[in-house]
Structures are given as C-alpha cells and as structure tokens.
Amino acid sequence: MISSFLRAPIGRVVEPTARALLKRGVTPNQITVMGSIGTIGTSLFFFTRGALFWGTIVMLLFIFSDLVDGTMARIGGATSRFGAFLDSTSDRIVDAALIGSVTFFLDSEDNPLEVVAWIALAAGFLVSYVKARAEASGFTCEGGFAERAERTIILLVSTGFAGLGVPYILAIGIWVLAITSSITALHRVVQVWRQR
C-alpha cells in the first residue's frame, strides 16, 4: 500500500542503476547475496549496539539492492526459478536480521518492548508464510496493509527517528508493526478460507 505511492519515483532511480550494473556484467543473484550480507552486517554492527540512526542510514543502501535485483532480472531477461527462490529466501533473512537485531538491542536494555518486538517478528514471518503456503496449495493470497515493503518502512522510520532522539517513536513503530502484521496475517488466512 505505502510502497505503491513510492513505486514511480523509486523506479526512476532503480532502473538506470539496474541497467548500469547489467552492462558491467553483474548478475541479479550477486546483488541479492551482497544485499543480504550487507543487511546482516549492518544489523549486527549497528542495531544490536543501539546505533539506530547510523544503522538506518547504512541499511537504506542495502535495502536499495533489494529493489535493484528484481529490476535487473526483469530488464535483463534473467528471471529464473532459482533466482526467485534465492530472492524470497534472502528476504526472510533480511527481515529476521532487521527486527531481530532491534529485538536483541531492546533485550540488552531490559526494555519490556522486546516482547512486542518478538510478536512483530513472528507476525511478519507469518504474513509471508501464509502467502507462500496458500499459493503452493493453489489459492490466491495477497494484500493486507503490512506487506514486506510496508514493514520495512515502518521499522526503518522508527529506528531512524529514535536514533535522532525522538521520544516514543521506536515503541510506536514496534507496536504498529506487531498489530498491522498480525492483522495482515489474519486477513490472508480469511482470504484463503473464503476460497475453500
């Protein structure tokens, strides 16, 4: 939903970048792996230590790669079943690294918000799992507010402003993430149930 408003302006940056990388012989799968490694490293180095603002800034560079790889595959005609599998698996790794590192930081601070962060983590994975399992069973399953792009935007806006000292913004973001992810997962289950 949020991501649909950003698609056009982001596309104006992503497509030229994708074309330039393809001309240099870089493959979409290489970008996928590089982005995942960068995200994990950034999460471990910044977020787990509470360096939320700089972690967010660096993370944006690697999140950008997640947009580029799919565009490269489409433009270069390099789409494949393995590429789709690798991209989906990498997405789950990135999701775990992002919210998991923030949860680790909250735990190290003895912040009770960590319980809500665990719920957000589990619900986020459930959103993706329900869709994958439903489609594997032949159902249509899509939509809901908290799709992957929306979850990432909510989290990074929260960590970025929290790193700048804005009070309560991290708590608000984690709560919004937990609630909207849970509602989205339920929405998708109901959507599949209606197709039975």
- Hunting for tokens 């433009």 — which residue is that? 75
Per-residue pLDDT of the chain (196 residues; tens, 9 = 90+): 545 555 666 667 788 888 898 899 899 899 999 999 999 999 999 999 999 999 999 998 888 887 888 888 888 887 788 988 998 899 999 999 999 999 999 999 889 999 999 999 999 999 999 999 999 999 999 888 888 888 999 999 999 999 999 999 999 999 999 999 999 999 999 999 999 8
Q: How far apart are the first and last CA of the chain?
A: 26
In the set 66, 69, 91, 110, the catalytic residue is 91
pTM score, two decimals?
0.86
* Number of domains observed in the structure of the chain: 1
CA separation for the pair 88, 193 (Å, rounded):
24
Rounded Cα–Cα distance for residues 101 and 103 (Å) = 5
Q: What is the dihedral of CA 10, 160, 55, 147, to 10 degrees?
A: -50
CATH classification of the domain holding 165: 1.20.120.1760
Residue 30 belongs to domain spanning: 2-193
Angle between helices 81-108 and 52-75 (to 10 degrees): 170
| Complete DSSP assignment for 127-192 | HHHHHHHHHHTT------S--HHHHHHHHHHHHHHHHTT-TTHHHHHHHHHHHHHHHHHHHHHHHH
pLDDT of residue 2: 47
The enclosing H or E element of 15 equals: helix 2-23
The enclosing H or E element of 67 equals: helix 52-75
CB atoms within 10 A of CB 179: 16
The residue behind tokens 């609630």 is: 179
- Is 145 in contact with 184 (CB distance < 8 Å)? yes
Catalytic site residue 91? Answer: yes
